[in-house]
Amino acid sequence: MKRLLTILAIASTTTACATHKLDPPAGFAQVDHSEYATTMIAPDHVGLNVRVWSNVKGGSLGFWSEDMVNKLGERGYALTRQSAVKSKNGVAGTRFDFDYTAPDGVEKFYSAVLFASDKYRVVLQVAGNAELGARYLAQLDGIAGETKIRGCKLVNSLCKSAQPRPLKIAPAAAPEAPEAAPKAPENAPEGNTAPPAATDA
């Protein structure tokens, strides 16, 4: 009986230590979920997802923020806003809003909230057509505040990282000839072209 109780306690602890937790906000349905990803979609094809990667030593919120913003800037995404947020369990995060043009010429919005715990880096993403941006971006801080991020140490934790310095994407030089629109990313929410944040770091 003692052994059975021990096994059950371990199983319970494992379940409680999932990498992240976010129930579908109002207006979204969950279409996929795993330990390292959750994908949701709204009826108007706005996508909401959470992506998780293992963190590394030195992987602070500031480090991953610069990495993500630089890579998105290289793909043609224009940073329009940066602000501090917190997860439901108090992990420091930073929100970045971007405008971009999809390969089919449609104007889009894309927003990423980045969290860095000692074990994981987590990106909460929302994306859709630009005309829907105001409605969904107004909800994003609240959605971030309902997200639980795991993997924090008890002391000297990255979960209490300072906010990154204000970041800015320099305007691209005017091209001599028309260029293709930013490449569609591979792991975006269904129905959108939001990029997977900093996956190739």
Domain spans of the chain, in order of start: 20-160
Distance of CA 124 to the CA centre of its chain: 3
Encode pLDDT of 164-199 as tens digits: 999 975 455 455 555 555 554 444 444 444 454 444
Q: Which residues are CB-neighbours of 86 under 8 A, at least 6 positions away? A: 92, 93, 144, 145
Q: pTM of this prediction? A: 0.77
Which two three-digit tokens encode residue 1? 């009986």
Q: Which class is 20-160 in CATH?
A: alpha beta
> What is the model's pLDDT at position 14?
38
Q: Please provide residue 27's backbone torsions phi and psi, each rounded to the nearest 5 degrees.
A: 95, -5
143 exposure class (CB count in 10 Å sphere: 0-12, 13-18, 19+): buried
pLDDT of 62 higher than 70: yes
Report long-range pairs for 134-142 (Cβ below 8 Å, ≥24 apart). 136/42, 136/46, 136/109, 137/97, 137/109, 137/111, 139/25, 140/95, 140/111, 140/113, 141/83, 141/85, 141/95, 142/25
Mean pLDDT of 48-70: 96
Query: Is 156 a residue whose pLDDT tops 90?
Result: no
